[in-house]
Amino acid sequence: MIGCKLLAHPEMGEWYTFKINVPRHPVMAGMKDFSLVDELYLLELYPPFETLITCEFQGFTHPAAWVKPYGLGRVFYTSLAHGSEQFANKYF
């Protein structure tokens, strides 16, 4: 349903920069690229979906948020925000 399965994650505590890929999407209204300390999920992906946020890690681009159709509706997923510190980021 959400389009992925968790494979692994580096330890919490690294700074990552997240790029807004589709700024015109209503979910991204008012958002800009941002950096924060988070636990970056490395995922097995099951597209199709529209990638809204990405992050570069070890030379690869990893989706961090997306939307996808599901049945008669849509699903929004983000692998970000593992605590109040991340939610306090004004762009997140």
Residue 75 confidence (pLDDT) above 80: yes
The residue range of the domain holding 22 is 4-87
- 92 within some domain: no
Single-letter amino acid, residue 23: P
20-73 pLDDT, tens per residue? 999 999 999 988 999 988 888 899 999 899 999 999 999 999 999 999 999 999
Q: Encoding tokens for residue 77?
A: 């997923």
Q: How many domains does the chain have?
A: 1
- 66 within some domain: yes
Q: Dihedral through CA 69, CA 84, CA 21, CA 10, nearest 10?
A: -90
Q: Encoding tokens for residue 35?
A: 């950096």
